[in-house]
Amino acid sequence: MESTELNNTLLALLLALKDSDISLSDTEQSDLYQAAEQLSANPKAWEILIAPRLLMTIQANPALNHRFQAAKSQLDNLGDRIPLNLLPNEAELEQAAPKQKPQPTTRAIPQVSASDLRSNEITNMAIRVMTTSNPAETAKKLNGFEQFQQFLSQNLSQNQ
């Protein structure tokens, strides 16, 4: 599994959901929930099974797709240099998306390379948000993304 692509896709989705203009239908919310469950159960199925379905869901919502594509482009320009300290922390995530019963399995963060560590943190955050009853509203509650969005904007303007 290409962790940079996984991270960038999930972060772009969360950033897009955070936008105040985004609303999701019941079907879209259900699709995000299913993607989160699949990602939790079998992260190795990302490229073959999960990503294509998730991208179809995103593309079916024009406003979400527009925001997603813009964020994804910015993240792809960063490569694997995502500053984890600018992402929402566990306390903020717990406040916005309290753990529910039953909760999809959280991936352990093993003692491995920094890129694998990033992958699990970002994946866990995306799973938590996507399994809430309203992922767009939950993403809007993650104020930590404000700093990250500012960082992306600054990085984009510096590279132009």
pTM of the model: 0.83
In this structure, are residues 104 and 40 in contact, taking their beta carbons and an 8 Å threshold? yes
The predicted model gives 64-88 an average pLDDT of 88
Euclidean distance between CA atoms 138 and 17, whole angstroms: 9
pLDDT digits (tens, 9 = 90+) for 3-62: 889 999 999 999 999 987 888 999 999 999 999 999 999 988 999 999 999 999 999 999
**How many domains does the structure of the chain reveal?**
1
Which of the 8 DSSP states describes residue 92? H
Percent of the chain with pLDDT over 70: 83
Residue 69 to residue 136: CA distance in whole angstroms: 16
With contact defined as beta carbons under 8 Å apart, do 105 and 37 qualify? no
Expressed as residue numbers, the domain containing 109 is 3-158
d(CA 53, CA 27): 13
The pLDDT of residue 101 is 53
Confidence at residue 151, expressed as pLDDT on a 0 to 100 scale:
86
Q: How far apart are CA 147 and CA 71, in angstroms?
A: 14
